[in-house]
Amino acid sequence: MTENDSIEAISPVGELISPCLVNPDSAIDYAGVYKTKLKVRADDPLAVKFQELLEKIQQEEHDRQVQEAEAKKKGSGKKVKLADLPMEETDEDGTEYLVFNFKSKASYTDKKTGQVVERKIALFDGKGKALTHDLKIGSGTVARISVFVSPFYTALLGAGVTLRIRAVKILNFEVEPELKAVDFGFANDEAHE
């Protein structure tokens, strides 16, 4: 799949969960990955529409893989499974939510030049003004995310979609809390004797 096969989309408004949008997470991928989850009420019409878009793109990729296998004739009758969508359903105090998973690599290799290109996530406030990257964006921040919905296929996972972050529009900002020693049970007045 190429980036050209991706569809541009805007997520519904929701709460960010464990956002890593300013500094990429390099715990699993040394090059770093920007990521966040977005929690949206399941009955929000825009959330339903967004989920339907993901399902449609995934099904189109599934159908394309089946046609490709049949065209090769050696794969006729090949079973192509559907990968899990980048979302989950959850229930909190009787309210149902959809939690979408977004990610984007922090760097990539330009195919034309062979150079490694560093990537930053574009951040905007509610009025569309660009924000600096010295923010500490915390869980509970209300935002919308501009994405590429990118279809993929692997024999192991099947046909699926990935939500690649392009930009984030922050509508209600929650600052990541600054932890102190007392948060972990240490006393403030301890000194080495």
Q: Dump pLDDT digits (tens) for 143-181.
A: 999 999 999 999 889 999 999 999 999 998 776 656 566
**How much is the pTM?**
0.82
Please check whether residue 16 lies inside any domain of the structure.
Answer: yes
Q: What is the number of domains present in the chain? A: 1
Note whether residue 155 is domain-resident. yes
- Judge whether 191 lies within some domain: no
Residue 181 within any structural domain of the chain: no
Which residues touch 140 (CB under 8 Å, ≥6 apart)? 15, 16, 174
Residue 187 placed within a domain: no
Alpha-carbon distance 149 to 43, whole Å? 22
Tell whether 192 is covered by a domain.
no
Domain span at residue 76 reads 3-174
Q: Cα dihedral sign for 152, 155, 158, 159?
A: positive
- Find the CATH number of the domain harbouring 117: 2.40.50.140
In a domain? residue 179: no
CB atoms within 10 A of CB 149: 20
For residue 184, being part of any structural domain is answered with no
Give residue 3's pLDDT.
47
